[in-house]
Amino acid sequence: MIVDSTLVNNLHAAVGEALNQRDTEAEAAGRRSLSNDDRRQLARMLIQQELKKLDTRRLKDGLAALGEGTAAALATNVFNRLFGLGRLQQYVDDPQYTDIVVNGCDVVWLSKLDGTKVRGEAVADTDDELIEMIQTAARRGRSEQRWDPASPELNMQLPTGDRLHAIAWVAGRPSISIRRHNFAIFRTDQLLERSTISEALFHLLNAMVKARFNIIVAGGTGAGKTTLLRCLINEIPANERLVTVEDSLEIGLEHFQELHPDFVDLETRNPNIEGVGGFTMAALTKSGLRMSPSRVIVGEVRGAEALPMMQAMSQGNDGSMCTIHADSSAGVFGRLQMYMAMTEERFDVETTNLMVSNAINFVVHIVKTDDNERVLTSVREITGAEGALVLSNEIFAPDDTRRAMPRFPLSESSLARLERVGFDAKWLDGENGGWV
């Protein structure tokens, strides 16, 4: 429902002032500040009080009282201005949208679950109002962040667990992108139900996790790498201590605390205006290794963090995982060679390949097809390195529909390791490895 933006602004100002006055009085009296939950509850009460005052003024002026629907819409909009993303929040709360992009306050595009894209309503009256709304949200985040001409790019996690990226002052208009995460998909059996994997891959992937193989999940943008990684992580036994390292929090283990009661999630931080206080992915990965983890999970390797990640995988943190952007399972090796050349040590190809062969056991590759399906296309076992080549077997390779089918046999050592955790080698046969 479209509501009067002037009314929303006036109500927002009145309730915001009342909340600030409550904080000032508490500070003067030496009382502790309200918790977030109490502050939200107080805000809802204040909004209802302001709506009653508004109805009283309207009746006094000979106007009809607000209808129930209008009052509810006003209350929601004011609350979202105070604690959410204003008018943008309605799209964040709607599960039918997977991606939300805003190219200025009145140009909104929404990608739906079925792959279609529709135009949305304006989320602010002006670009300045849009900027102020995002700046307010950034200050309320897990760690207060700046978004201004001196720091024109913003990456932050929303309370829903979704990722928000914003950029302004270096673009014609402020641009906001929100990537939705479907936390309802979090186990490998759900991937099987959705035909993202076959039954053979279901058994193989679960056994790879149980056998503590080091796994890289590869794929293109929007292919479903993070969802697949999350599903693999949630097959890890609950007694293990996990440390996740991410540029922007997306894995969302806090949603699955019954599955992983002992976890730490680390997130990068940009330096402040004095140029201090920054924490890079590489530095966080090194820190994670000092936190007694059973496994280290790197959300996405895209630079110098490749080195500490491979060190973690080759020095006792068996069962670690990460994602990487690559167009094929074999393409992962070129990516890692490029990233290792970006480190301070500037590793050459041969050295990188030796480290890859010692650190990584398997690469799994996932794609988003033209008909908007996510399917696993390849499982590749790393077997060694010779000079400029990484040696590997593509255990499952894509057929003409891009779905992974059994191709080459596993090495005897890997198969034995999988069988020790209950894997049945029949799933590696073409007869049993097909898709239903």
Query: For the chain, what is the HEC assignment?
Result: CCCCHHHHHHHHHHHHHHHHHHHHHHHHCCCCCCCHHHHHHHHHHHHHHHHHHHHHHHHHCCCCCCCHHHHHHHHHHHHHHHHCCHHHHHHHCCCCEEEEEEECCCCEEEEECCCCEEEECCCCCCHHHHHHHHHHHHHHCCCCCCCECCECEEEEECCCCCEEEEECCCCCCCEEEEECCCCCCCCHHHHHHCCCCCHHHHHHHHHHHHCCCCEEEEECCCCCHHHHHHHHHCCCCCCCCEEEEECCCCCCHHHHCCCCCCEEEEECECCCCCCCCCECHHHHHHHHHCCCCCEEEEEEECCCCHHHHHHHHHCCCCCCEEEEECCCCCHHHHHHHHHHHCCCCCCCHHHHHHHHHHHCCEEEEEEECCCCCEEEEEEEEEEEEECCEEEEEEEEEECCCCCEEECCCCCHHHHHHHHCCCCCHHHHCCCCCCCC
In this prediction, residue 39 carries a pLDDT of: 84
213 pLDDT exceeds 80?
yes
Give the pLDDT confidence of 79-121 residue by residue, as tens digits.
888 888 988 999 998 989 989 999 999 999 999 988 789 999 9
Taking the model in full, what pTM does it have? 0.81
Range 86-180 classified under CATH 3.30.450.90: yes
Mean per-residue pLDDT, 414-419: 97
In this prediction, residue 101 carries a pLDDT of: 97
The model's confidence at residue 286, banded by pLDDT at 50, 70 and 90, is: confident
Q: What percent of the chain lies above the pLDDT cut of 90?
A: 55
In this prediction, residue 277 carries a pLDDT of: 78
Give the pLDDT confidence of 182-202 residue by residue, as tens digits.
788 999 999 999 999 999 999
In this prediction, residue 23 carries a pLDDT of: 79
Mean per-residue pLDDT, 338-342: 92
The model's confidence at residue 151, banded by pLDDT at 50, 70 and 90, is: confident
150-154, 273-277, 304-308, 320-324: least confident range: 273-277
Mean per-residue pLDDT, 243-251: 88
In this prediction, residue 111 carries a pLDDT of: 93
Mean per-residue pLDDT, 10-36: 82
144 pLDDT exceeds 80?
no
Selected from 3.30.70.260, 3.10.20.90, 3.20.20.450, 3.40.50.300, the CATH number assigned to the domain covering 188-428 reads 3.40.50.300
336 pLDDT exceeds 90?
yes
141 pLDDT exceeds 80?
no
1 pLDDT exceeds 70?
no
272 pLDDT exceeds 80?
no
Mean per-residue pLDDT, 332-360: 93
Give the pLDDT confidence of 375-395 residue by residue, as tens digits.
999 999 999 999 899 999 999
Share the mean pLDDT of the chain.
90
In this prediction, residue 142 carries a pLDDT of: 60
18-27, 169-178, 346-355: least confident range: 18-27
Mean per-residue pLDDT, 364-371: 92
